[in-house]
Chain A
Amino acid sequence: AVRMTQSPSSFSASTEDRVTITCRASQGIGSFLAWYQQKPGKAPKLLIYGASTLQSGVPSRFSGSGSGTDFTLTISWLQSEDFATYYCQQYYSYPYTFGQGTKLEIK
């Protein structure tokens, strides 16, 4: 199985900050990567697919980049509603696997 490793596992930031979360795959997965946002008690919500394509309705302050084994999710102007846990997921091969999550907290 492709192992997905996110860093950091958690960190604190302030509103209006620019933050970057990294996701690394244990083998090349092309651009077959999605990012999800999950708030407490809620289901994950798709933010980005194809490593860099923004899902409809997702604010443009979210962006994704990367291909192969290294990927990033950037939030350019943190808003209060962005404090949540973020997961990457590869859909290059079975079994589909997720990163362990990055919890973004308010400083």
Chain B
Amino acid sequence: QLQLQESGPGLVKPSETLSLTCTVSGGSIGTSSYYWGWIRQPPGKGLEWIGSIYYSGSIYYNPSLKSRVTLSEDTSKNQFSLKLSSVTAADTAVYYCARHPVVRGVILWFDPWGQGTLVTVSS
């Protein structure tokens, strides 16, 4: 069964770049059937979609974060990654990676999700 696992530093200094990787097991990210996305959740708050990437390199970003976000993928390692630059305390959150299906060109819901990783922005 498909599993996703986020990894990366749990503490990032303000103004630096947050870098996370999602490793996928039990399935390939190099498939035409799915996009692979990132979602975050500040402590005690709701969910915010960050962006999603396709194996061909097609990427969609949330406009609210687009200027600071870079998504990439490495099909040889079955991983995709997130970089968020110029972080502030407002970027402190649990970051999730997730898969979403594509049907007739329409990108759909998120399922499954990784367990999430807490990233704290603090000096």
Complex CA gap A46/B98 in Å reads: 11
Complex CA gap A99/B111 in Å reads: 17
B113's contact among A45, A55, A96, by CB below 8 Å, is which? A45
Complex CA gap A32/B104 in Å reads: 14
A100 at the interface (CB under 8 A from B): yes
Complex CA gap A94/B65 in Å reads: 13
| Cβ-defined contact, A89 with B96, below 8 A | no
Neighbouring B residues of A49 by C-beta, 8 Å: 108-109, 111
Please report whether the interface of chain B is mostly helix, strand, loop or mixed according to DSSP: loop
Which of B49, B63, B100 has the most A CB atoms < 10 Å from its CB?
B49
Q: Which residue of chain B is the closest to A95 with respect to CB atoms?
A: B62
Neighbouring B residues of A62 by C-beta, 8 Å: none
Interface size class of B (residues with CB under 8 A): 20 to 34
Complex CA gap A36/B100 in Å reads: 14
| Cβ-defined contact, B64 with A91, below 8 A | no
| Cβ-defined contact, A89 with B47, below 8 A | yes
Tell whether A99 pairs with B60 under 8 Å between CB atoms, given A46-B109, A55-B111, A91-B109.
no
A97 at the interface (CB under 8 A from B): yes
